[in-house]
Amino acid sequence: MKPNESSRFDSQLERLGAWSGIAWVVVCGGGFGVTGLLPVQAASSRPAELAAQLSEIKYQILIGMMLVLIGGLTFLITWSITMAYQVRKYANPSPLAFYGMVAVGLTGAIIGMLCAVIGSAMAFRVDTLAPDTTQLLYDLIWFLFLIPWPPFMLWQLLAGFAILSDQNTGVMFPRWLGYFSLWASALEVFSALSVFFYDGPFSYNGLVTFWVPGASFFIWVLVFAVVQIRAWKTVKDGLPQVTAAQPALEAHDDAGLVLIPESAGI
């Protein structure tokens, strides 16, 4: 395998791209925190009460949503492109997987953007709109956050399977990250439950339906980015020649672990 031949600029972008995953978690997650909208109110809240509460934190919401937009949108794009690039480079060269990850990454960024734009509009007009309508906009924020889960699931599946594929040398992405991605993808399905329940653990503010897929996606990005950052030292000067031929799974084989050889006549 040839050593890394990309230009210095490309290399810098790759390194920064990995860091942008951390930036996304901090700015987007932090942005939601700043809005004061967490913990999310129940879908069964009374519209008038909800509108009143939102009215009180109007400017908090607007500023928080701005953070979600500026940092969130940008960094998710840069990170998703970088991770797709790195998965292709260090795990599995499949072009389909690469394009798939780029496409769903962009879709994810747009979904996030819609959350923030609608949230901003909701806060912008909270004092004059009918409470019912405000509540609908509130619902929209969380529905956008949750129910378009398929692209996110696909994203994690593609990354997971690419990392678990035989071609992965494990130089940057260890196999456990592949299993971790598969786990994260399984959790996305919970989001679908949110449209059926107005309260309880499976509604859009529920302990299961909001926090499991919601938090796990942020955690997935964070863990992935940390792995990328830590592995950068190993790959920044080009792919190590020696390990290039050895698939990651064998690296886990215990020394001396011998499966019964044919000659044992068993």
**What gap in Å lies between CA 37 and CA 117, rounded to an integer?**
14
Single residue of 56, 59, 179, 237 touching other proteins by CB under 8 A: 179
Stretch that binds other proteins, among 59-67, 112-120, 142-150, 183-191 (CB under 8 A): 183-191
Q: With CA atoms as reference, report the closest residue to 236 among 23, 10, 84.
A: 10
The minimum distance between CB 252 and other proteins, in angstroms, equals 5
Q: Work out whether 230 is an interface residue with other proteins (CB under 8 A).
A: no
Sole binder of other proteins in the list 8, 96, 233, 258 (CB under 8 A): 258
Non-local (6+) Cβ contacts of 155 within 8 A are 80, 100, 101, 104, 105, 108, 185
Q: Smallest Cα–Cα separation from 18: which of 87, 79, 73, 71? A: 79
Q: How far is the CB of 91 from other proteins (least distance, A)?
A: 13
- R_g of the chain computed on alpha carbons: 22
Shortest CB 179 distance to other proteins, Å: 4
Identify which of residues 200 and 238 has a Cβ nearer to other proteins in the complex. 200
One of 207, 237, 240, 241 touching other proteins (CB under 8 A): 207
SS3 state at 51: helix
Interacting residues with other proteins between 235 and 254 (CB under 8 A): 247, 249-250, 252-254
Residue 59 found at the interface with other proteins (CB under 8 A): no
Q: Using CB under 8 A, which of 50, 109, 193, 235 touches other proteins?
A: 193
Binding window for other proteins (CB under 8 A); candidates: 2-10, 92-100, 102-110, 255-263: 255-263
CA angle 46, 47, 53 (to 5 degrees): 95
Which of the stretches 5-13, 57-65, 142-150, 176-184 binds other proteins when contact is defined by CB under 8 A? 176-184
d(CA 6, CA 12): 10
C-beta of 96 vs 260, nearer to other proteins = 260
218 contributes a contact to other proteins by CB under 8 A: no
Q: Is 220 one of the binding residues for other proteins (CB under 8 A)?
A: no
Which residues from 72-131 bind other proteins, rule CB under 8 A?
Answer: none
Q: List the one residue out of 101, 84, 93 whose CA is nearest residue 244.
A: 93
The secondary element (H helix, E strand) that includes residue 58 is: helix 58-67
Q: Identify the CA nearest to 55 among candidates 160, 130, 155, 139.
A: 130
CA dihedral over 199, 205, 208, 213, signed as positive or negative: positive
List of residues contacting other proteins (CB under 8 A): 164, 166, 174-180, 182-183, 186-187, 189-190, 193, 196-197, 200-202, 207-208, 212, 247, 249-250, 252-254, 256-260, 262, 266
